[in-house]
Structure 1
Amino acid sequence: MSIRIKLAASLVALSLASASFAQSPATKPERIRGDIVSLSGNTLTVHRRSGDTVTVTLSDASKVSAVKAIQLSDIKQGSYVGAAAVPGPDGKLTATEVLVFPDVARGTGEGHYAYDLGANSSMTNANVDTVVEGTSGRDLKLSYKGGSNTVTVPTNAPVVTLAPATRADLVAGKKVFVVAAPANGGAHTAQFVVVEKDGVAPPM
């Protein structure tokens, strides 16, 4: 299997997981953000931003990836993106980060839904219809099944795409983003792991 296909499969997993737990709060997976404390066997220990420490079990199905930084100018008309955003004072959406999907992953997780990357944040997985240069960034007109919106991407917002990684990259001190399914007794089973690599931390 090529790296391109592996990355596309990982993005599909991330997108579908995000969409599913946005729509099913009773059984939603959990997003875990923080720093790796250790990896012992299949047990990943993470010190969360909130201050607590959790353990996450990795299974054979757990996907591990990294992200690499790209330029705002790499977002083109026709790109398929995932944009986390918050409303500004005027109510318009301002991106806090943008993930650019490979073409083979186009359409995964499509839609606009609530997200937990800050107060009142949202996630839009959509096609870029138009790109308009602004005084403080670029305005993206996004369309998805059932709707559309415009997101302003500031020049300082992280713009990334997925990059290869393995469990060997899960080392202490690295920042990590985990989509995990809750298990009995407060345990978690990882579905998707994005780890810091080459100095680029997962912004999602």
Structure 2
Amino acid sequence: MSQIRIAAAALSLAIIGGPVIAQAAPPHRTRGTIDQITPTQLVVTSRTGSMMTYAINGDTKVAGEKTVSISAIQAGSYIGSAAVPAGGGKLRALEVTVFPPAMKGVGEGHYAWDLGPSSSMTNGTVGHLVVSNGNTMTVNYAGGEKTIIVPADVPIVAIDPGSMSDLKPGVKVIVFPSPNDPKTASRILYGEDGITPPQ
């Protein structure tokens, strides 16, 4: 891949990555399965069974996610993790997203999330990772640090550049509506190889 294409991919990731991960718990985020797609419209059946229709256009950003192993998380990795309280000030991960180096700093911080009751999102740099019975990592961000337990069955994914051609009926997605128009898709995150985006 040429340096120009690498830069373009990094820019695409930065554009999609920030709002996808950093946007804090909008009540209208839609997780579900693509039912229909045309050049101008996306129809998604949500996890609750409701059918949601969004306009799509040249400004709609797309990114994919693929499954990776815990070995993709290293000291110094920039990650995001939706989690719930685990007691003793620790968190228990519901998922972990590993970002490429070009996205370091995207959505950095700790804030409320909508993956379940009391869930939060932490984006930061892994300071220490202990892989044993009950994997544990410390995640540092501007103004704080969290200790996150990563159970063996928790999904770990990495973000890839994507395009509209990757979106087909049956693909699992998370749709982020435009803040200016809830009926228009601003960003779409999809699962590669049949996976469900875990965020």
Change (3 A) 1:192 1:76: same
Q: 1:26-61: CA deviations, max 9, x gaps?
A: xx5842100111002210001111221111111212
Describe the SS at the equivalent of 2:165: helix
Q: Is it true that 1:6 corresponds to 2:3 in the alignment?
A: no
**1:29–1:181 contact (8 Å) kept in structure 2:** no
- Residue 183 of structure 2: which of 170, 175, 188 is its match? 188
How many residue pairs get aligned? The number is 196
The RMSD of aligned alpha carbons is 2.1
Change (3 A) 1:115 1:203: same
Q: Which residue of 2 aligns with 1:126?
A: 124
Q: Percent identity?
A: 38
**2:172–2:194 contact (8 Å) kept in structure 1:** no
Deviates more, 1:9-18 or 1:53-62: 9-18
**Where do 1:96-115 residues align within 5 Å?**
96-115=94-113
Q: Which residue of 2 aligns with 1:36?
A: 34
**1:7–1:162 contact (8 Å) kept in structure 2:** no
**1:10–1:192 contact (8 Å) kept in structure 2:** no
Which residue identity lines up with residue 144 of structure 2 in the other structure?
Answer: G
> Which runs of 5 or more structure 2 residues have no equivalent in the other structure?
none
Distance of 1:3 and 1:43 partners within structure 2: 29
Q: Which residue of 2 aligns with 1:53?
A: 51
Q: Which residue of 1 aligns with 2:147?
A: 150
Q: 1:117-158: CA deviations, max 9, x gaps?
A: 11111000000011112312x211011011111001111111
Deviates more, 1:64-73 or 1:89-98: 89-98
Change (3 A) 1:3 1:47: farther
Distance of 1:169 and 1:161 partners within structure 2: 16
Change (3 A) 1:18 1:140: same
Q: 1:84 offset after TM fit, Å?
A: 0.7
Q: Which residue of 2 aligns with 1:77?
A: 75
Q: Is it true that 1:141 corresponds to 2:141 in the alignment?
A: no
Distance of 1:182 and 1:101 partners within structure 2: 24
Describe the SS at the equivalent of 2:71: helix
Describe the SS at the equivalent of 1:10: helix
Distance of 1:65 and 1:3 partners within structure 2: 15
Describe the SS at the equivalent of 1:198: helix
Q: Which residue of 2 aligns with 1:200?
A: 195
Change (3 A) 1:13 1:168: closer
Which residue identity lines up with residue 58 of structure 2 in the other structure?
Answer: D
Q: 1:114 offset after TM fit, Å?
A: 0.4
Q: 1:13 offset after TM fit, Å?
A: 3.1
Describe the SS at the equivalent of 1:157: coil
